[in-house]
Amino acid sequence: MSLTVGVLALQGGFSEHLHLLHVAAQHLSSTELASTTAFSLIEVRTPEQLASCDALIIPGGESTTISFVAAQSGLLEPLRDFVKVQKRPVWGTCAGLILLSDEANATKKGGQELIGGLGVRVHRNHFGRQIESFESNMDLPFLSGEPDPSPFPGVFIRAPVVEEVLHTDDSRPRVQVLAKLPGRLDKMRAGVSQANTKDDSGDIVAVRQGNVLGTSFHPELTKDARIHVWWLKQILNKE
């Protein structure tokens, strides 16, 4: 079988994602699960390229810029269709999580076009104009079945905060919280976050709803391909 995975290449860390996808695909090609799978890993900049994809990654970067360029390129509606109508597997990291969220606070003046599909409300930059950047080793329960049990190196750069998991009345599956980082809201500096979180939602760093996965951190800025391997395995197991 063949599997075409695209990375939205309008702005941000798309080349880093592509590199780790190549690492992950090479690893999986040596396993029984994917030994007969022909991986095609491509950059996506046009509706035609998107239409050729079986799955898509939306990288970290500047969410407002990605949204604007997608609209100018005629990609915004095809992206919404890809995610919410065709329900193909999509993973968004940092800015990608913002774009895939149903609601976002603290967007720039005039608002921001979202793709949607993930039933959460995020706060785009909960430290205002401060640059919040930190790294933290994380235990990610969804990687527990992988051979390497070591903590995952989480890189957070002005990362969005999940303010609330929304209870939608549509036919989508319930939102699954895949991982939390306790105290994540105050990692940079205690008491100054502008996010209005519900319960402990501010600790959420990975969330999934059906075909949509979102992480608030940047796996692509590490050398660790375990999440890329896990995500590709999730896709292959459903093919």
Residue-level pLDDT at 167: 78
> What's the CA gap between 159 and 71, in Å, rounded?
23
Residue 200 sits at the vertex; the CA angle it makes with 194 and 201, to the nearest 5 degrees, is 70
Q: Kindly state the percentage of the chain with pLDDT values over 70.
A: 85
Most confident of 61-75, 79-93, 145-159, 162-176: 79-93
Averaged over 207-221, what is the pLDDT? Answer: 95
Given a contact cutoff of 8 angstroms between Cβ atoms, the answer to whether 56 and 82 are in contact is yes
Question: Is the predicted pLDDT of residue 195 greater than 60, yes or no?
Answer: no
Question: Is the predicted pLDDT of residue 198 greater than 80, yes or no?
Answer: no
In 113-215, DSSP assigns E strands to 118-123, 133-138, 152-157, 161-165, 176-180, 204-209, 212-215
- Comparing 36 with 46, which gets the higher pLDDT? 46
The pair of structure tokens assigned to 151 is: 């903590």
Given a contact cutoff of 8 angstroms between Cβ atoms, the answer to whether 152 and 227 are in contact is yes
Least reliable range by pLDDT among 161-170, 203-212, 221-230: 161-170
Most confident of 44-48, 172-176, 186-190, 197-201: 44-48
Given a contact cutoff of 8 angstroms between Cβ atoms, the answer to whether 164 and 204 are in contact is no
Averaged over 198-208, what is the pLDDT? Answer: 73
Residue-level pLDDT at 157: 84
Residue-level pLDDT at 239: 64
Residue 204 sits at the vertex; the CA angle it makes with 200 and 205, to the nearest 5 degrees, is 160
Sheet holding 118-123, edge to edge: 101-105, 118-123, 161-165
Cβ neighbors of 49 (< 8 A, separation 6 or more) are 6, 42, 43
Active-site residue set: 94, 218, 220
pLDDT-derived band at 191, boundaries 50, 70, 90: very low
Q: What is the mean pLDDT of the chain?
A: 86
Question: Is the predicted pLDDT of residue 130 greater than 50, yes or no?
Answer: no
Cβ neighbors of 28 (< 8 A, separation 6 or more) are 34, 37, 39, 229, 232, 233, 236
> What's the CA gap between 37 and 17, in Å, rounded?
20
What is the pTM for the complete model shown? Answer: 0.89
Given a contact cutoff of 8 angstroms between Cβ atoms, the answer to whether 217 and 94 are in contact is yes
